[in-house]
Structure 1
């Protein structure tokens, strides 16, 4: 038991520059932070883990702001909560932009109001990276290369996201998959 260090001791060592000490803090508290985020976000594990990673990076950068070294877990969960709120706000802004685009886009003549609503719902159901590729390439007329550069994704990924997104949108409009 002589090897156990308290959170306060690990914080002190991390503040002195020990990456290992901070890593031990993360190992000790990551399960609580990730569990909290999964429940708070109500989304999949991947998104919660991404937000947790952002929170741990922010915690490392702002370790000097920790007022009570014995309260690492609540401090980390607070950072995680703020990062989760940022993610939710960004997601809402993206969904609002997509919705505005879908409401204003010139669809081919004969597309009914119901089809437009189906399209809005189908777009909202696309994963964020697929939705971004569809929005840039299909809605805004960007080339696959331009979208790959803007989204920092491989060209092949953008092409497959656009193809997959187009197929799902067409299906929502009663396209070939439903015929």
Structure 2
């Protein structure tokens, strides 16, 4: 894949991957795996360790991909992640008493007549030779040479993958050829090609994406809970609705994770999109069910103060109108989260929605049920509005806690989603 095709692929697939499309991210992994493993191998000089580091780098980038808003920054960002992980690996290896352990292992394996011991010795020898070949090269040329032979000896492709100019790549290639004898360079070229990651590497990374795929269960549960709270949280139904949203969103996210490896392995993008949308749908369904149960309970409480069919119909109409308007707010919030990548659109929609629902609670609801509560106060001598249940379900304390809970939930969802930059 040439540099232009690589830029095109990343420009097209990165926004999809940021939206949770693991198939799109797998295509990016396939295009970049040579460069990432080459960077790691040049530093740690161990083929197996370099692939482990590369896999960790790709998974780390996948977890944090929504924090990256510019596709052109992806490759430099991924390279830095890889180098940081390789440095961590080297620091950990320095702290281990490897020389004594390796000597003891060699003696133990040599004394073991089993075929597996012989193969392990051969593998250890191959690793030693690989480390010697890499060490023989100038430090600044190792990444370039590894990638040069893995990418069909195209200096332009190497330059694009490593963020260098073509002239800089050619200069490093020339310097390495001048510093290393021809026979060793030929051996290194054969090693570089043979040690390149196969299609199996991409498959291995792709199969791991579903285990940590965004949105995570925690974020999906929070999103479901926040959506559920917005359905009915402003008139005493926040607890039941939020718990339903958490359950629905979390269960759907778990289903998403279970289905993701099958979707990635089979290229089933339709299945993957369906599972991802099920997370949002789960939050809506869970929140709606919880809100409906809470609305039913609140309706029964208000009906205690109604006299005659006309007042009961007024209460039914009021609760239905508030439930419908809040359900529309819930769907609008989910749409704002799904259709935008930053935090401004969801935050603006949320603030407008809260203004509407607070107006319902502070103005409309008291005007509708005020006469009923005044009559109950005259008859019993006690103001229902002063009671604990009313204050914490329909009064100002309910408005305060539901506003705080909703704002905190959405802020945490946006933060987990990497929308604050």
With normalisation by structure 2, the TM-score equals 0.23
Equivalent residue, structure 2, for 1:39: 42
Aligned partner of 2:79 among 71, 77, 80: 77
Shift in Å, 1:68: 2.5
Report the Cα offset of residue 37 of structure 1.
1.3
Residue equivalent to 2:11: 8
Q: Which whole-Å deviations, capped at 9, do the CAs of 1:31-88 have from their partners, x for residues lacking one?
A: 01111111122x2211111110111111111112324212322211111011111111
The answer to whether the aligner puts 1:30 opposite 2:33 as a matched pair is: yes
Cα distance in 2, alignment partners of residues 164 and 66 from structure 1: 49
C-alpha RMSD over aligned residues: 3.0
Per residue, is there more helix in 1 or in 2? 2
Check 1:126–1:75 CA distance in 2 against 1; reply closer, same or farther (3 A cut): farther
Which of 104, 108, 115 is matched with 1:164 structurally? 108
Deviations 1:77-109 (A, max 9, x none): 1110111111111112223xx7xxxxxxxxxxx
- Equivalent residue number for residue 89 of structure 2: 87
Q: 1:27 to 1:58 in 2, by over 3 A?
A: same
User: Would the aligned equivalents of 2:9 and 2:28 in 1 still touch at CA under 8 Å?
Assistant: no
1:113-147 deviation line (CA, Å, top 9, x unaligned):
xxxxxxxx433x359xx6xxxxxxxxxxxxxxxxx
Corresponding residue for residue 61 of structure 1 = 63
> Structure 1-normalised TM-score?
0.51
Aligned residue number for residue 149 of structure 1: none
Structure 2 unaligned spans of 5+: 112-421
Cross-structure match for 2:54: 52
2:100 maps to which residue?
A: 122
Task: State the number of aligned residues.
Answer: 107
Displacement of 1:165 after TM fit? 7.1
Instruction: Tell me the distance in 2 between the aligned counterparts of 1:126 and 1:60.
Output: 39
Q: Give matches, 1:92-103, under 5 Å.
A: 92-95=94-97
Deviation at 1:25, TM superposition (A): 0.8
Measure, in 1, the Cα distance between the counterparts of 2:35 and 2:100: 34
SS at match of 1:6: helix
CA distance in 2: counterparts of 1:54 and 1:66, whole angstroms:
18
Contact persistence 2:57–2:85 (CA under 8 A): yes
Q: Distance in 2 between matches of 1:48 and 1:67?
A: 28
SS at match of 1:94: coil
